[in-house]
Structure 1
Amino acid sequence: MSLRVLLFFVFSLSGGAALLAQNAELDSLEKVLPQQTGNDKISTLNAISWHYRQANTIKAMGLAKSALTLSEEANYLEGKALSLQSVGAAYEATSNFDSALLFFNKSLAIKQALGDTTDIAASLNNIAMVHDQLGKDEMALTNYFQALRMYEAVNDLFSQAMVLGNIGIVYKKQKDYTKVLTYYERALEIYQSEQSVFGSSVVQGNIASILIILGNYNQAIEAAKKSLQGYESLGYSRLMAYPLGNLAIAYDSLKELSVARDYYMQALTLHKENNNTAEVSFTLKNLAGNELAAGEYSKALAHATEAYQLASSTKANDVLMQALVIITKCEQRLGNYQKAFTYQQQYIGLRDKAFEEEKTKATLELEAKYETEKKDRELELQRLSLVEKDLEIQKSRVAQVALGGALVFLIILGLLVRARIKLNYQRKLDEEKLAKQEELLRAVISSVEGERKRFSEDLHDSFGQLISVLKMNVDSLSAAPLSASADRQRMFDQSVSVLNDMYGELKNVCFNLMPKALIQHGLPVGVNELVARINHTGKLRAESHFFDLDSRLADIQEISLYRIVQEWTNNILKYSDARNIFIQITRDEAEITLTIEDDGMGFDEKILKMGQGNGWKNLQSRTNLMKGTIDLDTAPGRKGTMLTVNVPAILKGHQSKTDADKVETLLTYALF
């Protein structure tokens, strides 16, 4: 089934109210022009030329050339660039694309000299659009992507969306629909973030059209309805007809004929109200196809005949031929075989004519391409000739020797200044690096002292109480008479229980100091033991996964990565409302990647990094120790946080041991 796509990413004002606003602006400009002089007059001439570029190209060209003359007389470069662009736009409106390119490129050269990024990007977009109309897709895409990068550099979001849409149009011609959707969706994301209802509606409509081509009819219906809702909220009845037509085509393709017919009728009504003859004939043809499929041959014949007549008046050959196919089938179903044969012959004639025209067009395009390449070679030869002449002139200038000497002196002076600046810059870097190292060292020392205090308190509080209880039990056991065997047994059982508690506490302290499983069996076993302890608390569920960690890592890496896991999971247990933790460690040929994810609420990472505590500094010092990087992905109000650490992979026995490494290793063993 044929499909009409609404594409206008170079957004202009639409609707009756907008047209009145444009006319009012034009009237105002024409009234003020006679009283103006200088640069103001140049700007107004160009603005009026822009208004007339479609309706009256001769007048638009005259105004643009007048502005260009005044700009050249006043040596007003900004005005000259704008005037050259206006002349190019007038040529483009008359399909004189070679001349349009010539003036657009002249305008671009001036803008590049002035250095205005936004103006340069606008010229690149204009040049790309001309190449697109000439069928030079590669040149069009090259210029579009240059314009896009420039708009991204200045964070011009609406212009980015416009260029993304234009890129999608080029890929649509090439039938690369996956790329088309990619660029349309990027444009849609911008319009939605900027709350542009009009932009979002246009892009949703275009996405619906591509989804229909791909056969994703349900998704197309969803996108078309969003487009329709947007136009309805803006009151753009003329544009509402396009998503209505897409909805009709999608439902038609799903064989929901009655639903499709309702949408065809709504679209047809709006197109007629807005005197959009081309779209009326297109919609009538689709409606006739729907009625033909439903077996309503008389209605289908009437609508197809009306579509045929309108398409003949507008010379829309594609609609004309499709209408003839439907008419032929209807006449055949109604038993009018002579008429069916006549219409079929007419269709065959139009089809053959279209084929010949397409073949002629392709031949002319090849000839034009050959002539263009020939001209390019001639221009290159001319350029080389001019370069040779310039070299000859330069050889005759003896004064350049003195200039060269002065230039060498300036270069040497510049190098000396640059060397001094570089030394000062390096000195500042060294000072900042030293300050950072001192800060990390203070964090390490503070952490070590804190952990010593904690272990001391654990031993004093836990073991002190248990030992006191054990002493009391032993004293009671000694004092009990031999005849009181039941009391002595009870005291003995209590003492055994206390000893078991002491053993458990001792295991916990030893585990916190340095897990035995980590030292003996490596990182996966150590982390799994930690995960088991977390799950044993019942506060949340933890999972761990390891990939390509069959070989032992260097001691410093195993300990540092384990401490990072331990530190971060403790933070999650203390401060997060998470219910699940997922730990994954992966090794490839050159790198180890640790990720820790939880489903708790996110937070402001600046508060963590700027805080007075040593937790984040400890994580950084451990990562720096392994010459790695650390990244945190979180945001306030968003559920889920992920910590990622990437370090170079070093297997056990392969690490170097400089004095600095030995000191850092000792600090790592001491840290918890």
Structure 2
Amino acid sequence: MKKYILVLLLAITVSALYGESDPGRGNLPDDQRIADSIRIDSFIRATSSNPDLTEAVRIQLFKEAGVQSNQKGFRRLEAMTLMEIGSFYFNADNYDSARVFFTKGFEFAKQHKLDRAACNFTNNIGSCYLLQNKPARALQFYLQAIDYARQDTALSASALLNVATIFCDLHQYSKAISYSEIALRGGDKVAPVVRASAHLRILKSLYKSDRAAEAPAQIAAIEELLQAGDNPVIRAQFQVLQGHHLLETGFSQKADLLADAALGLLTDENEDYLSAEIYNLKAMTQLALHNTKNATLYLAKALAIAKKKGEWMLLRDTYFNMAKAAEAGKQFEEANRYLHLYEELKDKTRGEEVAVLLNTLESEYETEKRSRQINQLQLEHSLQEGQIRQKNLINYALIGALIITAGLSLLLYRIYRQKQQLQQRMISELEKDRELDITRSILLGQEEERKRLAKDLHDGLGGMLSSVKFAFQRSKATDGASINETRYTHASDLLDQSITELRRIAHNMIPESLAKYGIAAAIRDYCTSINKSGELKVVFQSMNADDVKPDLTVSNTIFRIVQELLNNVLRHAQAQQAIVQLSRESNTLSITVEDDGRGFDLSVSAKEDGMGWCNIRNRVKFLKGQMDIQSSPGNGTYVHVAINLKS
């Protein structure tokens, strides 16, 4: 049963790799790259699903697909070929070969930063070790898979469930429940078979730890999952687990009926992996009903499967049940032989339990507790070998080590404190320098605005007023008595234009709508003025931000940020259209400016920031906000600024 669940989890990890994107090399046209990716992907799927291929042909086809993927730069598909070869050997019970290809896949995924693939490869390596009766090694790789999942419980669910299985087999039921519950946190993102198996692990742990009163919630969850999509294997597992519980609580007849129902769910695909445990249950129910002969027949079937598949825990339990059956049949010599075989496997299990416990303590960084346990084990071993005379020497060595450790700890603590104080001073100095840089940049920005204002007044408004004066002088008739109407009208028009220009300059300094109606209205007016100029089409969108009215200094700074971003678009982007979005969520105000222009290289821009970008960055820092810039040549520019209004 354990092997079949691991096969299902392996299939889930393989399908997860099919779902990842794989852009390939950028020197191929998009259509060609997509076509090549689909062709190789389809080839791998067809090879995997063809039951008529021999082992040699199947492996060769996968390797050829890997070579093609490598040539095209399809890293995901190259990892997929290694996963498929490893899965083939895994399903054929060749765990050493499977582990070789899973390990190659893990190194490849780590090299190319394919974290999802790395997670799945390490999880499958752990499953190989688990089925080779090395649960301690398996646990190390399962925990590594959980780490690669990066807190994504849906991705790590399979590894978490495998960890729960190890602890359940080793009778550490509280840990089995804990890891199963973590696996369920992914909700509907987790595959139904994983969720159902997690509930089964919790249910079994509750039964084994005398917490049957908590079982109904788990039973309801399993039945709900089975109703949503019936899975014969999960249903059979559920019936076997319930049957064992009924047998232990004295309901032998009901347990026997559940065993028969589970046998009816067996198919050719799952019989080898599931039937042995069902035969064990059937044997125990028959033994409880005093049908020793039938019990012996079922146990013989279970033993044959357990030996064939190498399921050592199943083999251990079968030997124990055969000893009970032989004892019930008064075959005491046979009972003693089976009990001896059971004890050999049981002693082996105890050794593995210690190894798993130590690895678990290491993974949880329980250093102090682990050290006490190791010292205690070493002391007991010394006493068993009769080396009592070394006890005092060990104690002296421990005392000396403690004294040295205490002295070193005090010295290291003082060094640490000095480093901390030095770092704090450096941080304070850097903070002061940063504040000076921001202030200097703001002052430079203000100076630039003053220069621009002076230029507007001198070149724009000053020139227009001079023209008005000259026009009025010429509007007089030559005799000094009458007025030339045409020239007078022209002078009046020039005066109107001067007034308009004056308003434009005043609006650029502090928009009137900014003080009256808030930041959204001011930005909307500014976007409208750009649209009227015909230089650029600007679409403005306000989402829950029309009533945002921070103090004038903050509002003016936000307006200048938007103004500078749009000026950059007008001067440099060669864009046809820009979108400006202003949105508010709780206390966060978000500003987004996006254009369809020529874009730029961010790595080059970081070295050659002009005054415009410098002013924008420092205004954002002044508001204690955050800014994100995304751009590349030919793909436009996207700028997002987030400001906490409370700060």
What's the TM-score bracket when you normalise by the shorter of the two chains?
0.3 to 0.5
* TM-score, normalisation: structure 2: 0.48
